[in-house]
């Protein structure tokens, strides 16, 4: 009877070991899943921040280009007007 009892306890113990071990592994896997999720969130935040910085830099470059083009056009208009005035002055003095 004692040997049957011991054998049954050993069998129950052997059947319970995988359940206990898997529970310990589940906690470990949960920690790894949590770390992986945190890494994904951090990467997404960094990606969004770099995209926002890139967009801001692009808008600044675009505005600077627009300002340079407007300044260049203003200089061209001023030079054109000065040349026309000089041409008119020469024509006036020739006649």
Q: Please, which pLDDT band fits residue 90 given cuts at 50, 70 and 90?
A: confident
Residue 55, pLDDT score: 95
- 1 or 63: which carries more pLDDT confidence? 63
In angstroms, the CA 27 to CA 32 distance is 9
Q: What is the pLDDT of residue 31?
A: 81
Q: What is the pTM of this model?
A: 0.50
pLDDT in tens, 58-87: 999 999 999 999 999 999 999 999 999 999
Domain residues of the chain, as ranges? 1-67
Give the confidence band of 24 by pLDDT, cuts at 50, 70, 90: low
With a cut of 60, say whether residue 10 has pLDDT above it: yes
């Amino acid at each position: 009877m004692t040997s049957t009892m011991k054998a049954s306890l050993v069998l129950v113990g052997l059947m319970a070991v995988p359940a206990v071990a898997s529970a310990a592994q589940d906690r470990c896997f949960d920690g790894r899943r949590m770390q992986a999720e945190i890494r994904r969130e951090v990467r997404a935040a960094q990606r969004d921040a770099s995209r926002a910085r890139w967009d801001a830099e692009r808008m600044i470059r675009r505005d600077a280009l627009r300002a340079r083009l407007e300044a260049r056009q203003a200089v061209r208009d001023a030079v054109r007007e000065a040349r026309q005035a000089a041409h008119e002055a020469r024509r006036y003095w020739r006649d």
